[in-house]
Amino acid sequence: MPPERHDRDSVVRTALHLLDEVGLPDLSMRRLAAELDVQPSALYWHFSSKQELLASVADRILSPVPEPAPGIPLPAVAGAIRDALLSYRDGAEVVLSTYALRLGAHRAQDALLAALPQDDRSAADALFEFILGHTMLLQQRMHAQSIGAVTADAADPTEHSDRVFDAGVRAFDVLSAQGRPS
Amino acid sequence: MPPERHDRDSVVRTALHLLDEVGLPDLSMRRLAAELDVQPSALYWHFSSKQELLASVADRILSPVPEPAPGIPLPAVAGAIRDALLSYRDGAEVVLSTYALRLGAHRAQDALLAALPQDDRSAADALFEFILGHTMLLQQRMHAQSIGAVTADAADPTEHSDRVFDAGVRAFDVLSAQGRPS
DNA sequence: ACCTGAACACCGTTCAAGT
DNA sequence: ACCTGAACACCGTTCAAGT
């Protein structure tokens, strides 16, 4: 049998799997090529650069976020985005670091926009930025803890994290929660 | 005259200057060593790793943030943190990526905490996470634009960015702004 | 259409040894 | 106390050439 051939999709899927296994710092083009049983240069037939590859990876990480639809509560949408980012190691960092390059794939922001009471794009963008910053920090703390490094909080970090996340989402949700003051 | 000697402080200052000049992706230990007229291995007498060096750089980036004090309006504190991050190229990414390692230097969060009406540490942390996510995204867009890449917004990104930042800060500030409905 | 082989210009880090 | 020299095990990317 001839050696396997690949397309953009299979490369991205393998990259995603490798990301989850070794983390972003160790996700190299050479290592990915080895995983695909291919020379490193072969990757450059499918993608013009590592950045472009990572942008596709980022899109795929966010792809499970439900489509924009009115009626979904804001915390549900925010939680779905956070869960998508958390479902791969260093997921938030990958999305944050390739965000500027990705033209489409603003589905996540649009989903937040649809969940907000007013048509407030600034608030939707700000909430998305909060989710990204929050989740990147959380994933870093998770990694630092696994390395055995001393983290700021002695206690389990995920519990405190959940409270902080709720506080952030609630800040953006007051607009819809209030509306009729007493 | 003998070649110059260095200590942690002078290394960090040079690193900060080099960061601003070339950006985080090109801030290598080898390049920093060359800037200091020193062999790369010399840096490992002062810092045990690049990560540890970057953590010191991150602390220095945030050092202009005013000390925690009651009475300062929340938007002023938030703006000061954003300005500190923006004053060096890729400043937000440096802080975000070393955050988990830095034990002290929670001055920024404490300043936010002091500016909040209640003693709400979760809200302070969430707001800090928003500022970091927001500023990292902004700095990336700035870089993508300087490279000539096509960004999502056709128009000037900083104007939209200011509105998004204000929307985020306001979300956390409603608690203090409301209080007396109507 | 998809990949190999070889090369170029880099990385972070360690460690014995020097002054 | 601070640094050199040399080495180790890596990087991303390009490009001619193969099938």
Q: What is the pLDDT of residues B66-78, one digit of tens each?
A: 999 999 999 999 9
pLDDT at A161: 95
Contact A182, B133 (CB under 8 A): no
User: Between helices A157-177 and A74-86, what is the axis angle to 10°?
Assistant: 150
Contact residues on chain A for B101, CB-CB shorter than 8 A:
144, 149
The pLDDT confidence band at residue A80, using thresholds 50, 70 and 90, is very high
Tell me A38's DSSP state: S
Residue B123 has pLDDT above 50, yes or no: yes
Q: What is the least distance, in Å, from the CA of B148 to any CA of chain A?
A: 11
The pLDDT confidence band at residue A172, using thresholds 50, 70 and 90, is very high
CA–CA separation, B180 vs B182, rounded Å? Answer: 6
Distance B31 CA to C9 C1' (A): 13
Contact B140, A97 (CB under 8 A): yes
Contact A114, A68 (CB under 8 A): yes
Structural domain for A107, as ranges: 55-178
Share of chain B above pLDDT 90, in %: 77
Within a domain: B40 = no
Residue B90 has pLDDT above 50, yes or no: yes
Mean pLDDT of chain A: 91
Of the residues B120, B122, B134, the best mutation for testing chain A's interface (the one with the most A CB atoms within 10 Å of its CB) is B122
Tell me the torsion sign for CA atoms B172, A120, B162, B26. positive
Share of chain B above pLDDT 70, in %: 88
Helices assigned H by DSSP within chain A: 8-22, 29-35, 43-46, 50-62, 74-86, 91-98, 107-115, 121-147, 157-177
> Coil, strand, or helix at residue A166?
helix
Residue B99 has pLDDT above 60, yes or no: yes
Which strand (E) or helix (H) includes residue B109? helix B107-115
pLDDT at A25: 98
Q: Which among B125, B174, B31, B46 has a CA at the least distance from the CA of A161?
A: B125
Within a domain: A124 = yes
Residue B16 has pLDDT above 90, yes or no: yes
Within a domain: A140 = yes
Tell me A180's DSSP state: S
pLDDT at B164: 97
A86-108 as b/e, with b when 16 or more CB fall inside 10 Å? eebbbbbbbbbbbbbbbeebbbb
Q: Which among A106, A96, A108 has a CA at the least distance from the CA of A54?
A: A96
What is the residue whose two structure tokens read 């710092």?
Answer: A25
Report how many domains make up chain B: 1
Contact flag, residue B40 CB and nucleic strand C, below 7 A:
yes
Share of chain A above pLDDT 90, in %: 77
pLDDT at A114: 96
CB contact under 8 A, B126 and A171: yes
Within a domain: A2 = no
Within a domain: A27 = no
Mean pLDDT of chain B: 91
Distance A34 CA to D15 C1' (A): 21
pLDDT at A153: 58
Choose between A150 and B81: higher pLDDT: B81
CB contact under 8 A, B167 and A103: no
Share of chain A above pLDDT 70, in %: 88
Within a domain: A82 = yes
Q: What is the mean pLDDT of residues A166-181?
A: 77
CATH number for the domain that contains residue B110: 1.10.357
Within a domain: A165 = yes
Within a domain: A67 = yes
Contact flag, residue A45 CB and nucleic strand C, below 7 A:
yes
